[in-house]
Chains A and B, each alone.
Chain A
Amino acid sequence: MGLGAYVAVSAALFALGVVAIIVRRNVLYVLMGIEMILNAANINFVAFSHFQGGALDGRMFAIFTIILAAAEAAVALAIVLNVFYLFDSVRPSEADLLRE
């Protein structure tokens, strides 16, 4: 498989992630969408790194991104859990105290 195939998959994953964030009304799906975007970037990093003569920069970046995604998911889920306790809902549209 050529580089193009990997980039195509990653672009599709990125697009799906963005759509998930925009369309779904539930925070958990939004967080999944964010994970998909991060993983789309990971596919890019690893694929580019492989096809460019194996410089390690890209692979290192991917490893750090995985850690970063885990940390972000932990913080985000803790926040969502707290919102759920206070609002009995995980839909951003129902937590709307802050507006003009």
Chain B
Amino acid sequence: MNAYVGTSTSRVDGRAKVTGAAKYAGEFAADRLLHGFVVEASIARGRIVRLDTSEALKVKGVVDVLTHEHRPPLADKDEAWKDEVAPEKGSPLRPLYDNRIKFNGQPIALVVAEDWETAKFAATRVRVEYEQEAFATDLESERGKAKKVDQPHKPRGDAAAALARAAVRHEADYVIPTEHHNPMELFATTAVWNGSGGLTVYDKTQGVQNVQKFLCSVFAKKPDDIRVISPYVGGAFGSGLRPQHQVVLATLAALALKRSVRVVLTRQQMYGLGYRPMTIERVALGARPDGTLDAITHEAIAVTSRYEDFSRNDTGWAEQLYKSPNSKFAHKLVDLDVSTPCDMRAPGAATGVCALECAMDELAVALQLDPVELRLRCYSDRDQSEGLPYTSKQLRECYARGAEAFGWSRRNPASRSMRDGKELVGWGMATGVWEALQMPVAVRIVLTANGHAEVSCAASDIGTGTYTIVAQVAADALGLPIENISVRLADSTLPQAPVEGGSWMAASSAHAVLGAAEEIRWELACLAKAMPGSPLADLDAANVTLTDGMIVNNDRRGAAVSIADVMRHSKLERIEKEKLNQFAEDKSHARNTHSAVFAEVKIDEELGIIRVTRIVNAVAAGRILNTKTGRSQIMGGVVWGIGMALHEETVMDHRFGRIMNANIAEYHIPVNADVHDIDVIFVDEPDDRINRMGIKGLGEIGIVGVPAAIANAVYHATGKRIRRFPITLDKLLE
């Protein structure tokens, strides 16, 4: 019975969020709370020669200044600093560990004071002398030093020969700049000292258990010593996957001073965390005259830090998506004196697919073929990289539904051919693709005799709607009204969950809830069978449904017993079940979500001002658990795509290796006035192979393809192909 799954149920945490009751990491109170302010390095590479904290310590209200020379012990092995999503290769950042400076903005001291303003002021009194070393932060000037990264690529045929003989060929570099997540909440940790050496750490994170294990490892603590809690997360988008340095610093200070400590980074300081790495994407396509592909090559060259190799699979999408007998792929990294990049919404796909889909548009122009038609001629029912069929792939339907909703058939294929008053009008489209991942998650359900259930799990809700879908699935599986379900998340003492990322949490948490609810149902059915004179006496305990507070025989709907009666009769106040759900490995099929994105732009020809007036995003992502929050996820992804296409760029001054626009006014993100009509279409995609409920996840797919669709629309409007993102008006006016 699905009273909730698949509906447009409003967020169960909505009331807390609109009343200000929802508490985020930096908002938990503690007795005698101290405040820490981070001092950062102002050089890009070198070492600290002298760090003088004496003037800071003289400021009334300052309690201590922690530095690499003055701090409690920290783990001295790289392994201890590797969290569950750390890059395999490298040596993670150790805040305040030694005098080495690896990037401009690296934390080098923490001023701790009785109040925040005092700590902030005193931080300006810390004097640092450095010995600088030569450094490099410019990907383009260091491009020649790129090193190849192992990726599971399989070249097909002979791409070079196929490109050489291609009737129509397109080859270009697409440059995507560094971008920062900029979640609205500042990164914050409140480490609460509990008096006996233990800590409760409220942290802004996408994975409380990841942070908990990391802190225990870094500070050599026992699992019971540290508990990490993060009930609400004010956006993260990947920036909270790895434990960030403020959680290390707050914990360090609390242990050093045996008091509770809060550390909140400033917006500027958050630019010293991870980011989407600048990437140069070189794509070459060779086509036959009929518009089928004969060759694809895709090489990505991305930034990483000098101390860790972070790489994502930018080129895997070109490998998988379109039929092409000849192909070659390479992923390369350039080591620079910057902080390590990290996952940012649809890592590898937002960038790699952007380049591929711009290139496909350029090829369509060269072939004088409609861009949708080109994609249909190259369409593949199998994952081209592995030759595997998909568990489901309704991309063809996405193209059809999206094109229809958008009115694509009315498009004049010639560029500069459509106008609205003094504005040029452009229509562009692109394909989107992401993986449908799933991870082991455990859930505990406690059903009480009063007909309430508490569902708990360590998973986070970073705004994605986990609280709500968990409540929906539990309510349906237990046959209870959703008001009777309370959901507890993001406490490291709760049942196991990985970090919330990769779009895997919806499928993973929903099946864990289902598994635990089924154990409860089984126990209730067994108890019901055993009751004297039970109408369910001859029941197969596996063949029941819980609905409206009743245990119902699936074969004989009239035969039913109330859950309350069963629990009363069995003298049970509560039934508690915990279940770890693991997904069976299935290497026989590819698992992906897909989308077709259609964009309209209007461009003031004299001023170059670009407006994205319409986006239609038709998404095939299996079963949609909640059409309201699901639509919001896709819409948010589209807004991110608008930002990526037109606004977002972290600008580095390579003379100092320092970010010049480390704030949220000069790092542009879309504002309300930048966002107009967004139409989200969920294409039906039944999938009984991927998992029991047919869930694929929505967090990333919404952004993928959007920047390319907009770039292609800009070309259609103006006849100008901008391959260096973001597409700003100066580039159009050049």
Q: Do A and B bind each other?
A: no
